């Protein structure tokens, strides 16, 4: 009896296992009913393979595309960088002269172009940036790629500027004595020469201007470049305002355009000075030095004011390089300009805060 029951249990278990196997095989074969033959099972396994292949293809579609190629980047130096700079210059993004070196200025210009063109701002020239830039510009000319080099320009201070002024004076374009400073008067003289010579009138000396000027003039002599300076005489005490005769006073006369440093009625030094223009006049009156600033720079006019001694609001006595170079052809914004740098440096050290300042006619 027990043996019969065991055999019945065994047959039932085998049948159940076969049914489970049949059901599993049917799912794998997507509903087909394979036979119990091993070849049918192999066929079912082969039929399931495309499902795996499909998943692999889906994974491949999600793979990111390769990064865009970089053509030019910071630190590069080549003729293509020079072309890049020239093309950016055509669009107003590169104001300097092309150099062929990809530095901070070029990086900033590329960034500005990318921003204006709607690209991601990186400062790096990718293929797309280059393609858009070349489409928006024309092939640079040789003059755009290799423009004439500047020899001298506004703000320069050197012996070469002094030679420039002496040569311009030989041709009647510069009437002052050479100073070595390239200011407004020198700019106007260069412009006049360029117009007379048929050159582009920029007021700046580029190679063609310098070549033409040196060919047309003689090498200046020492006396032409360094003419004797007129040293102002000490102003007589009797010509000073009576308020200047006691104590420590910066005595400033608008009549004689001089500043006298006076201590207890004795004149220590006298220097030439220049005053404000009609729109910004130097105020007359009695003041005192309330602040000294040796290396002052005006934030209002963005200009240097060395050895500044402030006496009334923003008005001060200070050295002016423009006055030294251009004389009375210009004017200040209300300050008292001194053109003798050595004298005002000495004066700056002598004057104390609290010393009186008298400005009078």
Is pTM beyond 0.75? Reply is no
Q: Does residue 231 form part of some domain?
A: no
Grade residue 335 by pLDDT with cuts at 50, 70 and 90.
very high
Q: What percent of the chain has pLDDT over 90?
A: 61
Residues 99 and 168 in one domain: no
Q: Is 339 exposed, middle or buried (0-12, 13-18, 19+ CB in 10 A)?
A: buried
The yes-or-no answer on residue 244 being catalytic is: no
36 found inside a domain: yes
Note whether 356 and 242 are same-domain residues.
Answer: yes
Alpha-carbon distances, residue 166 vs 124, 213, 232, 266 (angstroms): 47, 11, 24, 40
Q: Could you tell me if residue 54 is inside a domain?
A: no
Options 93, 173, 296, 318, the catalytic residue: 318
Among 173, 244, 296, 335, the active-site one is: 335
Instruction: Give a yes or no: residue 291 inside a domain.
Output: yes
Domain count, the chain: 4
The CATH number of the domain where 211 resides is what? 1.10.101.10
Burial of 122 (0-12, 13-18, 19+ CB in 10 A): middle
If DSSP codes are grouped into helix, strand and coil, which group holds residue 76?
coil
Expressed as residue numbers, the domain containing 337 is 237-360
Judged against a pLDDT cut of 70, whether residue 172 lies above it is answered with yes
Q: Are strands 258-263 and 248-253 parallel, antiparallel or unpaired?
A: antiparallel
Is residue 318 part of the annotated active site? The answer reads yes
Picking from 173, 191, 225, the residue at the C-terminal end of a domain is 225
Q: What's the mean pLDDT when you consider all of the chain? A: 83
CATH number of the domain residue 341 falls in: 2.40.440.10
Q: Is residue 53 part of a domain?
A: no
Q: Do 276 and 352 belong together in one domain?
A: yes
Q: Looking at the structure, tell me whether residues 135 and 158 fall in a common domain.
A: no
Give residue-wise pLDDT tens across range 18-42: 433 333 334 433 334 344 444 444 4
Q: Is 128 in the same domain as 74?
A: yes
């Amino acid at each position: 009896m027990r043996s019969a029951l065991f055999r019945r249990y065994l047959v039932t278990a085998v049948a159940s296992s076969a049914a489970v196997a049949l059901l599993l095989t049917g799912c794998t074969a997507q509903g087909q009913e394979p036979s119990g033959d091993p070849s049918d099972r192999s066929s079912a396994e082969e039929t399931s393979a495309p499902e795996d292949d499909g998943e692999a293809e889906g994974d491949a579609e999600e793979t990111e595309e390769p990064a865009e190629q970089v053509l030019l980047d910071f630190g590069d130096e080549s003729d293509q960088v020079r072309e890049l700079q020239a093309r950016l210059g055509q669009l107003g993004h590169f104001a300097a002269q092309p150099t062929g070196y990809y530095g901070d200025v070029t990086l900033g210009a590329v960034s500005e172009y990318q921003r204006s063109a709607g690209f991601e701002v990186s400062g790096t020239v990718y293929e797309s940036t280059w393609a858009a830039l070349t489409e928006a510009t024309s092939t640079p000319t040789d003059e755009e790629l290799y423009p004439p080099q500047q020899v001298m320009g506004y703000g320069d201070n050197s012996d070469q500027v002094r030679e420039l002024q002496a040569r311009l004076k030989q041709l009647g374009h510069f009437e002052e004595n050479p100073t070595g400073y390239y200011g407004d008067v020198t700019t106007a003289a260069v412009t006049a020469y360029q117009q007379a010579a048929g050159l582009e009138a920029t007021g700046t000396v580029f190679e063609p201007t310098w070549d033409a000027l040196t060919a047309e003039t003689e090498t200046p002599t020492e006396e032409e470049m360094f003419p004797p300076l007129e040293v102002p005489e000490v102003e007589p005490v009797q010509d000073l305002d009576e308020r200047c005769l006691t104590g420590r006073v910066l005595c400033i006369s608008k009549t004689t355009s001089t500043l006298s440093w006076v201590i207890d009625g004795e004149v220590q030094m006298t220097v030439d000075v220049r005053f404000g223009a009609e729109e910004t006049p130097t105020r007359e009156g009695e003041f005192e030095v309330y602040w000294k600033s040796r290396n002052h720079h005006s934030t209002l006019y963005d200009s240097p004011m060395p050895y500044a001694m402030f006496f009334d609001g923003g008005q001060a006595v200070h050295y002016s390089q423009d006055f030294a170079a251009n004389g009375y052809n210009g004017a200040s914004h209300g300050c008292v300009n001194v053109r003798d740098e050595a004298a005002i440096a000495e004066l700056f050290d002598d004057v104390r805060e609290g010393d009186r300042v008298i400005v009078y006619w």
